[in-house]
Amino acid sequence: MTQNEATYAAAGVNVESGERAVELMRASIAASTRPEVVGDFGGFAGLFDISAAKTMKRPLLATSTDGVGTKIAVARALDIHHTVGLDLVAMVVDDLVVCGAEPLFMTDYIAVGSVNPERVASIVAGIAQGCELAGCSLVGGETAEHPGLMAPDEYDIAGAGTGIVDADNLLGPDRVQVGDVVIAMGSSGLHSNGYSLARHVLLGDGKLGLDAEVESLGRTVGEELLEPTHIYARDCLEMIKQSNVHAFSHVTGGGIAANLARVLPAHVSVDVYRQTWQPAPIFELIQREGSVPLADAERTFNMGVGMFAVVDASSVDQALAVLAGRNLDAWVCGTVRDRNDGEAGDSPAKGGGGGAVFLTGDYADSSSSSSSE
């Protein structure tokens, strides 16, 4: 190369590193493959056989896309990258299952300042593992190198998923009735929402920092913040098979009230009883260290509930038994009632419309049970 020649590598894009990353991730992707996947990894498009849809009266495809937000800053600081791959899958597939859809496949997008093959492969290994846990396949993706736009160590990830549900089995507001019972499913921690506030409170000069050992957490702040998001897809699908589920709500950005309200019809309200559970210590730690008002915490974090199920009152025991059999902490936390004139709820439904949700009472303390019969 002469002094005046310009190459892709000189511009900051290393094609060989990209190919090395693909080779390192190949085995992980293969492990997530379902029988319906057609062809090998590496084509221009991922193919998936949907012949099974012929048994449905009116098959509907469901799609969702998401990322993991600023949780990536924690992963970068600790140089642990596979867990955010699990988070990505959870954010996507658990939105799909809310409508009753079975997740079928996912694709991912990883933007990096400079390709580090081992780091990219670690991220993809986490995504593939998450797909296995959710029962779907990772059928393709893109790793894009952005020199000059991102610093060499920076990256961001996003994913898109597709699921399928028969129209007759679609879940949501149309099924919810007065008298239905709301079941809460415990979260594994912060999941992947509220990290801008969590980092603002816990990290930085004069603050606890990632390496701080916190007795109530039983580990470091960094280990707590990187705890992967629980993936509820198979739990929810099993509930659908064995009980009469009317709706699910995935508790993500916006908190409990805003997300639960969006799966309710406009004429109903739900009273969620805080005394039925005790939020994990991480939530109390953030509130205490940052003097975060309860109302703000509840609009930001899941407060210990990652998914709600709204079920027919006759199915409560069976639904709880299904979740107990899957080792998922779950409890009755509220009921659906008629909405009174002028009731707005604690937060507007995310996306507009929906019913009204009120969090009432005080959270259980350490001497109380975190679940109810």
- State the average pLDDT for the chain: 94
Question: Which of 16-20, 245-249, 353-357 is predicted least confidently?
Answer: 16-20
Reported as a pLDDT band with limits 50, 70 and 90, residue 22 is confident
Closest CA relative to residue 133, chosen from 67, 227, 231: 231
Place of tokens 């190949």: 26
pLDDT in tens, 213-224: 999 999 999 999
Strand partners, 140: 107
In percent, how much of the chain has pLDDT > 90?
A: 85
Report the number of secondary-structure helices (H) and strands (E) in the chain: 11, 14
> Which three-class secondary structure string do you get for 76-90?
HHHCCCHHHHHHHHH
How do residues 26-81 score in pLDDT, each as one tens digit? Answer: 888 888 889 999 988 778 899 999 999 999 999 999 999 999 999 999 999 999 99
pLDDT at 372: 36
Give the torsion through C-alpha atoms of 152, 153, 156, 159, to 10 deg. 90
- Is the pLDDT confidence value at 370 over 50? no
Task: Reduce the secondary structure of 313-354 to three states and give it as a string.
Answer: HHHHHHHHHHHHHCCCCEEEEEEEEECCCCCCCCCCCCCCCC
Q: Name the nearest CA neighbour of 256 among 360, 153, 134.
A: 360
Q: Find the mean pLDDT for residues 238-251.
A: 98
Cα gap 28→122, rounded to integer Å: 9
Helix axes 117-134, 82-96, angle to 10 degrees: 30
Q: What is the pLDDT of residue 3?
A: 63
Please write the tens of the pLDDT for every residue from 299-317. 999 999 999 999 999 999 9
Give 153's DSSP letter: T
Measured N-to-C along each axis, helices 71-78 and 82-96 cross at an angle, to the nearest 10 degrees, of: 160
Q: What is the pLDDT of residue 359?
A: 98
Residues 345-370 have a mean pLDDT of 84
Please give the Cα distance from 101 to 165 (Å, whole number). 4
Does the pLDDT value for residue 351 go beyond 90? no
Kindly state the average pLDDT of the residues 145-171: 96
Beta strands in the chain, from DSSP E residues, in sequence order: 37-38, 47-48, 59-67, 102-112, 137-145, 155-166, 181-186, 213-214, 219-220, 245-250, 268-273, 305-311, 330-338, 356-360
Strands 330-338 and 268-273 turn out to be antiparallel
Mean pLDDT of 264-278: 98
Written as six digits, the tokens of 297 are 């915490």
Angle subtended by helix axes 233-242 and 117-134, to nearest 10: 10
